[in-house]
């Protein structure tokens, strides 16, 4: 083989390696939790909650639904309080609870979800991370001077 063919073969090998790595990363990446829930569970707009809490339903029990979501999406943390299951993600919080013999899946932003489910998730050390979100007012009588 002459030098030009070696160079072409080397470039093709590098390109093939890069493509292989990209395909492996793409195939093995974790699913987006919002997309996963929206694709696999029944949307229940009538059960939506204030502040963009999107509701979905499933026929399976909450533990099974939460396990399926967790397996596909790799949450940062997962906890349960009785039959209520909570999955924590960087930007989202998913709560799965009993509903009509199956499950209600509530998808929230992390900040809204921690406020909505504060009585459960605060005990896990999950909070919205926003001091303003927990601010209740008050202050000095002198206008802060």
Low-confidence residues of the chain: pLDDT under 50: 130-145
pLDDT of residue 130: 47
pLDDT of residue 59: 96
pLDDT of residue 53: 92
As a whole number of angstroms, the distance between CA 43 and CA 3 comes to 61
pLDDT of residue 75: 92
As a whole number of angstroms, the distance between CA 104 and CA 59 comes to 9
pLDDT of residue 118: 82
Least Cα distance to 108 among 129, 93, 126, 128 occurs for 93
HSE at residue 62, side-chain half, CA atoms within 13 A, is 21
pLDDT of residue 31: 73
pLDDT of residue 129: 55
pLDDT of residue 143: 42
As a whole number of angstroms, the distance between CA 66 and CA 94 comes to 9
């Amino acid at each position: 083989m002459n030098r030009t063919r070696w160079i072409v073969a080397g470039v093709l090998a590098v390109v093939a390696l890069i493509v292989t790595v990209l395909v492996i990363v793409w195939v093995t990446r974790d699913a987006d939790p919002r997309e996963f829930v929206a694709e696999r569970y029944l949307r229940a707009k009538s059960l939506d909650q204030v502040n963009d809490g999107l509701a979905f339903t499933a026929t399976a029990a909450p533990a099974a639904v939460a396990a399926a979501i967790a397996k596909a999406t790799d949450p940062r943390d997962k906890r349960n309080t009785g039959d209520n299951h909570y999955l924590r993600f960087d930007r989202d919080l998913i709560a799965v609870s009993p509903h009509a013999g199956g499950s209600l899946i509530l998808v929230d932003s992390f900040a809204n979800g921690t406020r909505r489910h504060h009585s459960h998730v605060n005990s896990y050390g999950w909070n919205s991370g926003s001091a303003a979100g927990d601010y209740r007012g008050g202050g000095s009588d002198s206008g802060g001077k």
